[in-house]
Structure formats: C-alpha cells, structure tokens
Chain A
C-alpha cells in the first residue's frame, strides 16, 4: 500500500470516529438525541386513553407548556396553538390512524408519529412569529393539506 493511501485511509477512519464521538457527546451528554420515547398505546382507543382523551395546550410551569396532540388524516388536534415567546413546549403525540410526521419549519422539530406509539419532542420558542406545522410522512390523498401553525407572541 502506498504511503499516501495509508495517510488517506487513516484520515478517513479518523473522520468517521470523530463524527461518532461528536454525535455521541451531543446525544448523551448534551441531551440532543433524536426523539426516542417508547411508551405504547392502543391505536384504536386513543380517544379513551389518557392523556389523549383531553388533547390541548396546558401550562405546566412558568414559561413551560405541554401540548397533548393527536394526529389523524388530515389534521392536528389541537390545531391552534399559541404560546408566549421564550416558552419551552413539550409535545406528546400519537396517531389515530396511519403513520404521520410532525415537523415545524424553522425549528429542529421533526418526529415520526406512529399508531401504537407515543412520540415526545421538546422545543423552546425564543423568536416570536407564526411557525408552520406540517405532516411530512405521506398519509393519503389530503396529505398536502395537513398543516397548521404555532403562534409565538
């Protein structure tokens, strides 16, 4: 093997390991890992199961909110969300039918919402504005209409 190739392969190997170290540090030390909540739910009894029997926005602390949300073709419940700027919002979600995706443009919120599973994701909204919420997993003929907004005042 040529010396230049040895250097190249060492750098390549080091780069991949470097990636892994940074990713691991961010995921486990800085708590920046991807949404991975594991709780299960009966997808045919979502409306009768707490907390989804009462979806909505709840204040749970100073500047802290919980949004309990169901996703179904082709809408989000609740669909009008308003929080003050600077608040941290915890989303707790599940699907009542097929697989959906929960994405908020201009933030890092992006989570799969699947029947039978509860998804959780947290975001602090510092900038006021109207954020576009949309479903990013194809869910049927009205998929392109599955959108709403979060208003941060």
Chain B
C-alpha cells in the first residue's frame, strides 16, 4: 500500500515538474548527435546529388563511393537510431515515472559504445579502406576495424534495448493489472525489434571479422547477405514504427483531439512486431539460389506489413476528421480548414503521413516479385527510401523536435521558431518531391543506384537520363537549405529559446472509450509468434545456403 502511494506521488510529481534533469540530459545528448549527423550526412548527400547530375567532379581523396558510404551510415545508422533512442527514452521517463538509476547508467554506457563504435567505423571509411556501403556485402572486404566498430554499435543498441526492458518490467511489477502507457508500449515494440532485428547482423559481423582478418579463407556470400537483410529491413520498419508512434500518441493532442482506439493502436504495434523481420527477403527477389516458391512466400510476408499501415491510414484521417468536426468543421472535406496548418508540430507530421501514401504504394510495387525485377537496384529504390525515410520518418522527427527539444531543455517553442519550422517544412517538401520524383522516374528508365556519374561511353540511353538527374541537384540543394534551417531550429530550442515549460503532449483516449482487454500485454507470446514466423521464413533458405553451399569466396578490395 505504502509503495503504491509512493509510486502515485512520483507519477504526479513527474507530470507536474516535467522531466528530471538527469533523464533530460540523456535525451538531449542523443538528439544533439542525431542532428549533427544530419548536418554532416546532408552535406555529403548534396555532394552526391551534384556529382550525379554531372555538375561536380569529386576530387580523388573524396571519392563518390566513400562519400556515399559515409552518407548512408550517418543517416541510416546514426540519425535514425539516435533520434529513436532519445525520443523513446524521454517517453519512458515521462510515462513510467522517471528512468531507474540503473537504466540511466545503461543509457550512457550504450551512448558511448555507439559513439566509440561509430568512430572506429568512420576512420577506415575516411582512409578509403571501407568503401563498401552500409550494406557491406561480402566478398567485398573492408578493413577489420570497420566491422569491429559495427560490433560496438550493435552492443550499444542492445544496452539501450535492455535498459528499456528493465524499466518497463519494473513498472509492470509495480502496476499489476494495468496497461503499459501507450508511448512505452510503442517503445517496447521498437526495442524488441531492435534487439531481435540486430541479432542476424551481429552474427553476420562476427562471421566476417575472422574472414577480414584472414583467419578463415573464404566466406559464404549468400548466408551473409541474407543475414544482413533480416536486419536491414527490420531497421526500416523500426523507424517507421517510431514515426507512427508520434502520429498515434502526440499528433492528436497537438490538434486538441483524442487518441484513436487504444486497442487498435496496440494491435498495430503487435502486428508490426510479429510480421516485421521476415520482410527482409524481398531485397533478394532476383537473387540466384532461392526457389520461386520460397520467394513467393516472402512476397506474401512482405505485403502483409501493408495491412497495419492501411489500418493506420484510416485511423489518422478519422482522428483528423473527428477533431475538426468537433471544432465546427463542415462538409465532406471542408473540415480540413479547422486543422492547425500554421503549427509546425502538426504540419510536418501531416505531410509526412501524406507522403506515405505514394511511398507505401511504391514499396508494395517494388516488393512484388516480377515488378521488383523492373525496379531492383535502380534509382527507383533510392527515390523510394528518400520518400519513406527522408519524408515520412524524418519529417515526423522534425515535427516532434519542435516540442521534444524544448521539453528536455526546459524552454518553449517561440512564434518565430514555429514560423521557421513551417518554412523548413515547405522547403523540405519541395526538395524531397523533386528529388525523389526524379529518382523514381529515371530509375524506371534504367539508371542504376549507387553509381557515380557515368555516360557509359556516351551511350544514348545513358545520356537521356541527364535531364532527370539534374533534378537531383536542385532537390538536393533545397534539402541542404532545409537541413540548415532545421539544425538551427533544434540548437536554438536546445540552448537559446526563452525558458519555460513545455508539455509532453500525450493525447487522452475518448471519454466513452471501451477499456482495452489485457491480452494485448502478453509480450512473451508476441515474441514467440515473431520467432515462429522468422523461423518459417528463414530456416529453409538458410539451411539450403549452408548445406548446399558452393565453395566460398576470398576477400576482395575492389576500390
């Protein structure tokens, strides 16, 4: 009884006083790293866009493939992971009554492990010993230090995943019979996926290291490639799940509305956790050595992820319409006028959602067997993930930053910064639409991804791509302006904005909402189901790759 009372007061105190300075420092540090990464990564992206358009010839010491490897690593691994962790740790701290001291310590150990691992990985990239892209497909072999750096990054991620599990488990012990608060429910799903999704890549890297060091002579190319994509695609959906957590939990509050059905929200999380990892195989649809029936099964598993996304699409627009009508909105679509379009905390995530309509449809196209054959490894794919990651996910992160950063820095969002944010959102939208639109189109014409500017010996087909590629440079330039505006806004809100209190805007459920059944909390069962599905997807092909393996490949350095 005493303990419950104490817990209750802690919750109250947490809500009244905001985040504790110790917890705030963790989130602040992660966000600073994330936005420094986008600054550097964005600049490298601009260089590539310019090169690809044939405007800029990169000097030898700053080779296109070196720049591309660093761009990918900074934005795909650093930006997204650091933002996700900083954001969810603030959510855990807010909704679970503060982080446990032990968990706080783990968050710091994880932080430094990730930074250390990243430094180890970047040194060989800069030295030109690891121009292998962030997919590092064997038998291309980078310097061993690159892979050792990746090990530390993964170990750091695990530290944070376990920290989150410990905090959630502790809360559950003290709140028997209650639902995990919704933002922590999302966090649990994300960290479960981060842990299980990074297991395959950890195995892959531990397999590569002795080979890169020369202790074993050859490597099984297919096994390593398959293990990579079991991780690679899960990572994509981890960002996506982070973005939709903001849509479900915070966006309704920002527009003065109520949260969508708690039960359906939790079902979406559970479905994404169970069905995610198996999606990775659609990256290998035109690989040799995998039978057509296995590929067909994987197409089905990939497309299944579309279902929770379509549930989300309905939920979001239903929340918007309901809220707008409550405020007096009328007409079939006329209610949209009642939404706060001038508020960047709504505008940015809204455009992010809208972008997911073509982005998701494009994803379904390219993961469908024979259509994949048209798009695979062309610029279409690059256009696709700039629409998904660059718009849907990153614009949601931007929108979140306008309340999350002031929340952790004990400051407020000023009118001026909000205005800057709206301008940033518009610049970013135009830049991304131009760039990713041109990428999709030129990809259909055959222009390959991950290729520096080339006319293929003045081939007429290759030359006909040039006008489209020019749009990459225009879009890329706008995006760089967007990056500068965004990074300025974040650092202003972090260190310069007027002091004050900013709310952590968790929306409430509807007053007449039916209570959510307790079966949604059976995380053990969800993990078992997920592992069952992963086994269904991966056991047959992996066993085949190992048992019927061709002689392996020695390491190659081809750059």
Contact = CB atoms under 8 A, between A and B. Distances in A.
B550 A44 contact: no
Contacts of B140: 98-99, 139-140
B556 interface: yes
Given A99-B137, A116-B553, A144-B454, A27 B296 contact: yes
B450 interface: yes
A35 interface: yes
Contacts of A112: 284, 286-288
B318 A116 contact: no
A106 to B, nearest CB: 7
Interface in A95-144: 97-99, 101, 103, 105-106, 108, 110-120, 130-132, 134-144
B291 A36 contact: yes
B449 A136 contact: yes
Given A130-B460, A143-B451, A110 B550 contact: no
Contact of A38 (B291, B378, B451, B551): B291
Nearest to A30: B370
Interface in A17-67: 19-20, 23-24, 26-28, 32-38, 40-45
Contacts of A41: 550
Contacts of B307: 12-13, 16
A53 to B, nearest CB: 17
Contact of A33 (B295, B376, B454, B550): B295
Query: Of residues B284, B451, B452, which shows the largest number of chain A Cβ atoms within 10 Å of its Cβ?
Result: B451
Query: Of residues A9, A132, A149, which shows the largest number of chain B Cβ atoms within 10 Å of its Cβ?
Result: A132
A78 interface: no
19 contacts: A8-B310, A26-B369, A33-B296, A33-B369, A34-B369, A35-B286, A35-B288, A40-B550, A42-B551, A99-B225, A105-B461, A106-B445, A112-B287, A116-B552, A130-B460, A136-B448, A137-B450, A139-B140, A145-B454
Nearest to A111: B286
Contacts of B445: 105-106
Interface in B433-460: 445-446, 448-454, 456-457, 459-460
A98 B372 contact: no
Interface string A64-93: 000000000100000000000000000000
A26 B445 CA distance: 23
B370 A32 contact: yes
A138 B450 CA distance: 6
A38 B310 contact: no
Contacts of B296: 23-24, 27-28, 33
Contact of B288 (A8, A20, A111): A111
A116 B551 contact: yes
B337 to A, nearest CB: 22
B303 A117 contact: no
B341 interface: no
A106 B461 contact: yes
Nearest to B261: A1
A141 B65 contact: yes
